[in-house]
Structure 1
């Protein structure tokens, strides 16, 4: 009899995704209106697609450099040099397979086993899985609903430990749609210098901001600030989720080891996808502008709809395409509300607890769907709340 096979502790203890659990529940029902997925419902702009096709026809189907082809890295460096007022070149850029691998490379560059990294709560749950894989400790920084779920430097300072090596921030935020203001970014940068930690900033929604706002990166706060790694991708801004085109931008000393790690993870991003990325950065911007205009209309629709339902409330998202709706006035918790809404009205949303304990009493609504789908979901939410009396 063969000995019993056992899983690794890493595999056994890997944190389960409550978002994935909701997807599995949704699969058991037919005709569900889904406001769950953070994926643009637009097609990738044509000039980006054509750049990839031209690359394929030119035979660019072989391995590339681990860090990415120089032309793509230089295009990224030029783009952010202009936006941040910071001198960057290809040594400051690491190309990755999607934003998630970009995040893994950033975390791997600064965290050792047993180190602490501060993570806001609520926050994107996949952060915790990657931190777990590295054997580091995610220290939660609870955000207050009463304060609009805004992260402050004081919140971070209160949670720092002697083992803190990094602080992870996300602005605009998934699931909250809120942005960190300039004053707090300056305080966070100052705190990073004083307490010797790296700010890892997830900025995948940096182009999706509303009401005439401009996104401000911590990398633009001070050209002398060097304790940062910016994680980004083309997925959201250019409707390229399936292309898996991500990157890290940071000081050359922090980026330098990443190509070596990339060799042992995915080796490289295909060249034709990198050519598409160059077209995204250097081509016309009209498609992205139109997408953001559409998201802003959808945001206005969902904010008005939620606020028009007795017992529900929300803050107005400043960026990204998520709304964190307050359902505490119904007397139900996040999971009870999300499950009941699915069962009774066939409308799928994500319970706020999927993003951390501070999300209790809230649900995340994605307004990346079209307006007809959003209105149908709002009608179902209204009907469900009415049933609750």
Structure 2
């Protein structure tokens, strides 16, 4: 039988990257003592006030059809939120609501790129980004994010990869998997480059509310001179510990949203009204759970660095935001994939191989910071022992 070419383009770009995580879950289900440091799921449940709000909304009959842009109350609340945060008026016609950031990015890229186009994307990158770009028919062009620059995209590295086919500069700040946060100067320089080459800027900002102390978040949406070419995406999944509700949005130029609307209507024709009601409440005030996660994750990152950095050749990259830290395991002589596989089999700690996030993290692993403190300490002990054993065997 014949299939659309998109199925070939996406082959190997889906769940295959999470194979080690799936294996760890199976081992845990079988009763093994697995410390799971793979996925980025908040370490607290969705606040009761939000689940109760959804339940009340359903009880009131808010279970009918919605529309392609989003429920009016949520759209208005998002426009108010972004107007206040960005210091300029963001209209309701600049907002689109879709189920989760993943769906938002899928739709936005579908609207901005097509066959033979090119999208600049930082390498390393979140595991789904390559597939999101590839589904459009466009080609992902990796821009190296280097440890010596704190994994922040450098304008010279992006400029060197621009061709006449480049259409989009895809940013992620705060960044997953590195935890890097772009500085105002970075944003201005990359914005100037986008203007020079008439590029769209797509910015995934789902970790905006999870920036660690001493670091300031800046969005390209903050700069009025970039307004006509910036689309930002976010959701309540991380900041409000509500990943299962799949509630996301994008903010961009009114013309862009008008063009995206028929695509949204064709894909989904609206999200669930009761989830929109929950989200309206959630984003209309500061998150009740984000500050606690920021405190715990930044503290655990510090402990991880103190206990692992320099141990058995390991090197820890301290994140500036989010819920992950990176460990450079190249001194062991193993790839990130091999190190993570052996660590799971021999020491029952599940981490993500760096190679799942692009060639730029070959020989690294990513650790989530979402386990309780005592389990994080136990995990670092097991990881250190694993690395020491590898080096001892090599000697």
C-alpha separation between the residues in 1 aligned to 2:182 and 2:247? 25
Any idea what SS the aligned residue of 2:41 has? Answer: coil
CA contact (8 A) 1:235 1:244 kept: yes
Q: Paired residue for 1:329?
A: 331
Listed as ranges, the matches of 1:4-19 within 5 Å are: 5-16=1-12, 17=14, 18-19=16-17
CA-to-partner distance for each residue in 1:174-222, whole Å, 9 max, x for gaps? Answer: 1101111110100111111111000100100011011232311111033
Q: Paired residue for 1:352?
A: 354
Segments of structure 2 that go 5 or more residues without pairing to the other structure are none
C-alpha separation between the residues in 1 aligned to 2:51 and 2:217? 27
CA contact (8 A) 1:85 1:223 kept: no
CA positional deviation for 1:286: 3.5
Segments of structure 1 that go 5 or more residues without pairing to the other structure are none
CA positional deviation for 1:279: 0.8
For normalisation by structure 2, the TM-score amounts to 0.93
In the alignment, structure 1 residue 89 sits paired with structure 2 residue 72: no
CA contact (8 A) 2:313 2:329 kept: yes
C-alpha separation between the residues in 2 aligned to 1:144 and 1:283? 36
Q: Paired residue for 1:22?
A: 20
CA 1:73–1:311 in structure 2 vs 1: closer, same or farther (change >3 Å)?
same
CA contact (8 A) 2:62 2:273 kept: yes
CA contact (8 A) 2:98 2:248 kept: yes
CA 1:206–1:7 in structure 2 vs 1: closer, same or farther (change >3 Å)?
same
For normalisation by structure 1, the TM-score amounts to 0.95
Listed as ranges, the matches of 1:141-152 within 5 Å are: 141-152=143-154
CA contact (8 A) 1:86 1:223 kept: no
Of the structure 1 ranges 190-199 and 137-146, higher mean CA displacement relative to structure 2 is found in 137-146
Q: Paired residue for 1:228?
A: 230
Question: Which residue among 262, 265, 268 is the counterpart of 2:267?
Answer: 265
Alignment size in residue pairs? 385
CA positional deviation for 1:224: 5.5
Q: Paired residue for 1:315?
A: 317
In the alignment, structure 1 residue 193 sits paired with structure 2 residue 195: yes
Question: Which residue among 115, 134, 143 is the counterpart of 1:113?
Answer: 115
CA positional deviation for 1:123: 0.2
Question: Which residue among 339, 342, 345 is the counterpart of 2:341?
Answer: 339
CA contact (8 A) 2:120 2:169 kept: yes
CA positional deviation for 1:31: 2.5
- Give the CA RMSD over aligned residues: 1.6
CA 1:158–1:379 in structure 2 vs 1: closer, same or farther (change >3 Å)?
same
CA contact (8 A) 2:327 2:364 kept: yes
CA contact (8 A) 2:227 2:252 kept: no
CA-to-partner distance for each residue in 1:122-158, whole Å, 9 max, x for gaps? Answer: 0012111121211111111122233332211111111
CA-to-partner distance for each residue in 1:71-129, whole Å, 9 max, x for gaps? Answer: 10111111111111121121110001100011012112211221111111100121111
CA contact (8 A) 1:298 1:370 kept: no
In the alignment, structure 1 residue 42 sits paired with structure 2 residue 44: yes
CA contact (8 A) 2:183 2:217 kept: no
**4+ residue stretches of structure 1 with deviation over 6 A?**
none
Of the structure 1 ranges 16-25 and 81-90, higher mean CA displacement relative to structure 2 is found in 16-25
C-alpha separation between the residues in 1 aligned to 2:82 and 2:111? 21
